[in-house]
């Protein structure tokens, strides 16, 4: 897999943080767990339930040593999101995310969550009652 990086961009691979000082291309010759800086969510951006889920999966991907603790947080976040949202697209996406994480495909899980963020924004901003079990 070939990855192009810009000068000053950070690259997270197998729990390590790398920063390149100039524009470069990098070729990964074997399987590695990586995340580009553009896909990293800062803690200040964790403002919604799905963003919280994204952040947890991100931690699992970036710091594999903490995966057991993050796994418990992930299970709780999935459960909470299922209680929070009634939207079928989000619920289907949560099923997909849970399956991808179980298959150790965390990068794909992050991509799936990113596709759900605009739907979440619409649901949370709509005039309808988007929250299922709000009294629960």
How far apart (Å, rounded) are the C-alpha atoms in residues 102 and 104?
A: 5
The whole-number pLDDT of residue 32 equals 74
In which residue are the tokens 């197998």 written? 14
Q: How do residues 75-116 score in pLDDT, each as one tens digit?
A: 999 999 999 999 999 999 999 999 999 998 998 999 999 999
123 in Cβ contact with 130 (< 8 Å): yes
Written as six digits, the tokens of 35 are 């995340």
Q: How do residues 22-49 score in pLDDT, each as one tens digit?
A: 898 888 888 777 777 778 888 888 899 9
Written as six digits, the tokens of 42 are 């800062």
How far apart (Å, rounded) are the C-alpha atoms in residues 101 and 109?
A: 6
Q: Which helix (H) or strand (E) holds 85?
A: none
Give the residue extent of every domain in the chain: 2-38, 41-125
pLDDT band at 136 (very low <50, low <70, confident <90, very high): very low
Phi-psi region of 40 (alpha: psi -120 to 50; beta: other; left: phi over 0): beta
The whole-number pLDDT of residue 132 equals 46
Average pLDDT of 113-130? Answer: 82
Between 107 and 126, residue with greater pLDDT:
107
* The pTM of the whole model exceeds 0.85: no
């Amino acid at each position: 897999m070939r990855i192009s990086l810009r000068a000053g961009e950070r690259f997270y691979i197998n729990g390590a943080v790398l920063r390149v000082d100039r524009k470069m291309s990098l070729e990964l010759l074997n399987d590695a767990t990586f995340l580009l800086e553009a896909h990293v969510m800062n803690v200040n951006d964790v403002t919604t339930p799905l963003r919280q889920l994204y952040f947890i999966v991100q931690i699992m991907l970036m710091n594999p040593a903490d995966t057991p603790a993050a796994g418990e947080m992930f299970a709780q976040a999935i459960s909470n999101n299922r209680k929070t949202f009634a939207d079928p697209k989000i619920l289907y996406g949560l099923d997909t995310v849970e399956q991808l994480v179980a298959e150790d495909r965390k990068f794909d899980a992050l991509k799936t969550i990113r596709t759900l963020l605009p739907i979440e924004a619409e649901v949370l901003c709509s005039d309808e009652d988007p929250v299922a079990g709000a009294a629960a």
